[in-house]
Each structure stands twice: as structure tokens, then as C-alpha cells.
Amino acid sequence: MIGYAMNDQLRSGTPVGGDVVLLAQGVYRGFREGAARLEVLSGVDLAVQRGERLAIIGASGSGKTTLLQILGGLDRPDSGHVQVSGQDIHALSERERGALRNRTIGFVFQFHHLLPEFTALENVAMPLLVRREPRSVCMARARALLARVGLADRLDHRPAQLSGGERQRTAVARALVIDPQLVLADEPTGNLDGRNAEQVFALMLELNREFGTSLVVVTHDPRLAARMDRVLELSGGRLSGAASAASASGAASAFGATEIARPGGASPLET
């Protein structure tokens, strides 16, 4: 079952069954602040199944970006483990970790991190180009993804020539271009108006439905959170069932969404 029982299982050390794409156990991360220490993550446990859609909510500064970066192997935990597709991502060499990320994880950064000297098309094609796939194949695929996020007529613009929302959509296209097993998205619709947010989110959901891509999405948008299978809240350095899942599902019915958050309940994929 997908739900909070999974966290209980993890805490009790019981092996988790099923097709787990992402597994985090006892993740701690803090930062030195002069003589003091700021504990941001204090024992995060998480299991994400293949095809599961998870929203992570939490106050600004609660550690959502820190957590996502650790889950994606971009930052190290002080202690604890993270497995992606069964591999301990922090035990790999830098090169192996890069290769695992390039094959498996689509990362959408909160502040997009596009390469300023390259065009939108080149930025989106980059994860495929570094695999040394034929350039024409990489470009065709990148062009198709950019069209899906409504940027077919911005292919040759550099990031500085794109609006904030266009940059964010380019970053989403770049994350999805590899057909990832797992998408880690840090406020992917934060800079977008309603119509563009919907377009980007619909694209992620399509990928989830068509290819069983697992989605872990940090969001402040209750409408978006309410359309995921599960909503967890990061608070006090730990993840737990969101009290605000109720408000998220309330928002879902208010906006006519058909799928509502089911903390602890079955995923629609299982039913």
C-alpha cells in the first residue's frame, strides 16, 4: 500500500515491498551557522513507488529544496541513505552518480539553472547530447518537448531573452527530455500563470500516466498538490501526513479536480 504505513514500515526497519523507485531512510542534514548549527532535516524517511505522484508542501525555509537536492544526489546527507532505482546514490562515484541522474532523474530546479550561453533548444537537448546520442535525434526530441510546453517559437532564444515563466517551462522540458523514471520538481509552476502552470503540470501527469514516471513535486499550489496521490508536509525536519491535505482536497473539489489527495489511502493506480 502507498501511504503513511510505508513510513511506519521504514521506521520499524521492515523491508518495503513493491516497486520502490526512491527510498530515503533516516536522512539528516544541518548547516553550521557560526558557533551554532541549524538542523534542517532530522530523520526523513520516504518511499516512492513506481508511478506514484507525491506532493511535498511546507513553509518557506522548512528544508524542501535541501531534501530534494539530497534525494537527487546533488547534495549529501550528514547521515542516512538514499536509494534511487535500488542504487545507493551517495555511495556512487561522482561519475556514476552523474550517469544515474542522467538516465533516471529529471530534476526541475526552483531557480531553473539554465546554461546562459546556450539556446532554449540546446539547453533542453543537453542531457541527451552528453549521452552522445546523435545530434539530430537529441534536437528533434528537445524540439518536441519545447512544443509541448508552448515554446515552439522560442527555440533559439537564450535564457536572458526568455521571460521567467518561459525559463521555467524550458527547465521542465529539459527535465522530461530523458523520459526519466523519477521527476524531482522544486516548485515547477512557481513562476507560471494559471494557464501555463496547467500546461506544465498536465505534461508531467501525462508522463506519469503513459510511462509510469514517479513524480515528487514541491509546491505551494494547493490545486496542484490536490491532484497528486499523496501529500506530505515537511515540518520540524521530518515528513508527515499533511494536515493541509484536507485543505488540498478541498481546493481540488473547489476547482473540479477529479483526483484528490489520499493520505494513507490507496493510489488510483492500484485501484
Give the residues lining the site for ligand ATP (CB under 6 A).
Answer: 31, 38, 40, 58, 60-66, 110
Nearest CB to ligand ATP, comparing residues 31 and 255 = 31
Contact between residue 231 and residue 260 where contact means Cβ atoms under 8 Å apart: no
User: Which listed option, Mg ion, ligand ATP, none, makes contact with residue 58 (CB within 5 to 8 Å by class)?
Assistant: ligand ATP
Ranked by CB distance to Mg ion, the top (closest) residue is 65
Site for Mg ion in 52-71 (CB under 5 A): 65
Q: 259 to each of 48, 185, 188, 207, how far by Cα in Å? A: 18, 20, 20, 16
Nearest CB to ligand ATP, comparing residues 25 and 66 = 66
Q: Where are the alpha helices (DSSP H) in the chain?
A: 4-11, 64-71, 94-104, 120-129, 135-148, 164-176, 194-211, 222-225, 245-254
Nearest distance from C-beta of residue 235 to ligand ATP, angstroms: 10
Q: 244 to each of 58, 90, 181, how far by Cα in Å? A: 10, 32, 28
Cα–Cα dist 249/150, whole Å? 29
User: Which listed option, ligand ATP, Mg ion, none, makes contact with residue 267 (CB within 5 to 8 Å by class)?
Assistant: none
**Contact map string, positions 97 to 116, toward Mg ion, x by CB under 5 A:** -------------x------
The three state secondary structure string of 230-244 is EEEEEECCEEEECCC
The closest of 241, 222, 225, 211 to 21, measured between CA atoms, is 211
Cα–Cα dist 122/126, whole Å? 6
Nearest distance from C-beta of residue 35 to ligand ATP, angstroms: 14
Cell numbers for 11 = 521506521
- 168 contacts Mg ion (rule: CB under 5 A): no
Nearest distance from C-beta of residue 92 to Mg ion, angstroms: 25
User: Which listed option, Mg ion, ligand ATP, none, makes contact with residue 115 (CB within 5 to 8 Å by class)?
Assistant: none
Cell numbers for 53 = 505522484
Nearest distance from C-beta of residue 3 to ligand ATP, angstroms: 23
Nearest distance from C-beta of residue 234 to ligand ATP, angstroms: 7
Cα–Cα dist 196/95, whole Å? 35
- The residues, ordered by sequence, that sit 6+ positions from 264 with a Cβ below 8 Å of its Cβ are 3, 4, 5, 241
Nearest CB to ligand ATP, comparing residues 142 and 171 = 171
Nearest distance from C-beta of residue 48 to Mg ion, angstroms: 19
Cα–Cα dist 60/79, whole Å? 23
Nearest distance from C-beta of residue 164 to ligand ATP, angstroms: 15
Nearest CB to ligand ATP, comparing residues 70 and 145 = 70
User: Which listed option, ligand ATP, Mg ion, none, makes contact with residue 31 (CB within 5 to 8 Å by class)?
Assistant: ligand ATP
Query: Which spans of this chain sit near Mg ion (rule: CB under 5 A)?
Result: 65, 110
